[in-house]
Structure 1
Amino acid sequence: MGVPFEALIPYAIMLGMFGVTGGALSKLRHMQNGGKRGRHSVDQWDRVLMERDKRLTGFLRGQSDRAEAPDGFELNNPWKVEKRFM
């Protein structure tokens, strides 16, 4: 005796929704990385360089080939430095 196809419709819907959700999350992660593939095993040095790239370009994964920093970058320092000697 065969299985009625009406019993398989909920499973097909659930499988389809899992596929749509996975595709949407993958596309969202791709867009958040600036169109690049996701990074794995990011250490502290990579985080520092990615923060620098974000300050330079506005994107966490963006990179610039300009030799000179844009205007205002000299004031965009993440380190808080104490002025002891003047």
Structure 2
Amino acid sequence: MPVPFETLIPYGIITAMFGISGAGMSAIKYYQNGGKRTRRGIDQWDRVLMDRDRRLTGDIRGQTDAPTAPDGFELSNPWRVEKRMS
């Protein structure tokens, strides 16, 4: 017994929407990372370096080869120091 094609239209629409949304999310992540692939398995060391890159260049994936840090970078220390007990 054949199935009328009208019953398969919603499944085709659902499949197309999943494909469109997946491609859209992939494109958004690609452009948010400066045209680079997304990072996976990020550990604490990678987070520290990503924070440093963000403070240096303003972009979390940006890197610079300048021999000197920009103005104000010496005041942008990520390490938190506990206060002295007195």
**Which structure ranks higher in relative contact order (CA pairs < 8 Å, sequence separation ≥ 6)?**
1
| Residues 1:53 and 2:31 are matched in the alignment | no
Tell me how many residue pairs correspond in the alignment: 84
Equivalent residue for 2:38?
38
The residue identity in structure 2 corresponding to 1:72 is G
Equivalent residue for 1:26?
26
Write the distance in 2 (CA, Å) between the matches of 1:3 and 1:40.
44
SS at match of 1:10: helix
| Residues 1:78 and 2:78 are matched in the alignment | yes
The residue identity in structure 2 corresponding to 1:29 is K
Residue 83 of structure 1 and its aligned partner are, at CA, apart by 8.8
Segments of 5+ residues of structure 2 without an aligned counterpart are none
Q: Which moved more, 1:67-76 or 1:13-22?
A: 67-76
Write the distance in 1 (CA, Å) between the matches of 2:64 and 2:9.
51
Runs (4 or more) in structure 1 with deviation over 3 Å come to 80-84
What RMSD, in angstroms, separates the aligned Cα atoms of the two structures? 1.8
Segments of 5+ residues of structure 1 without an aligned counterpart are none
Instruction: Give the structure-1-normalised TM-score.
Output: 0.84
Residue 79 of structure 1 and its aligned partner are, at CA, apart by 2.1
Q: Which moved more, 1:74-83 or 1:37-46?
A: 74-83
Write the distance in 2 (CA, Å) between the matches of 1:79 and 1:48.
10
Residue 81 of structure 1 and its aligned partner are, at CA, apart by 4.3
Write the distance in 2 (CA, Å) between the matches of 1:19 and 1:82.
50
Write the distance in 1 (CA, Å) between the matches of 2:79 and 2:55.
13
SS at match of 1:71: coil
Residue 76 of structure 1 and its aligned partner are, at CA, apart by 1.3
Write the distance in 1 (CA, Å) between the matches of 2:76 and 2:55.
7
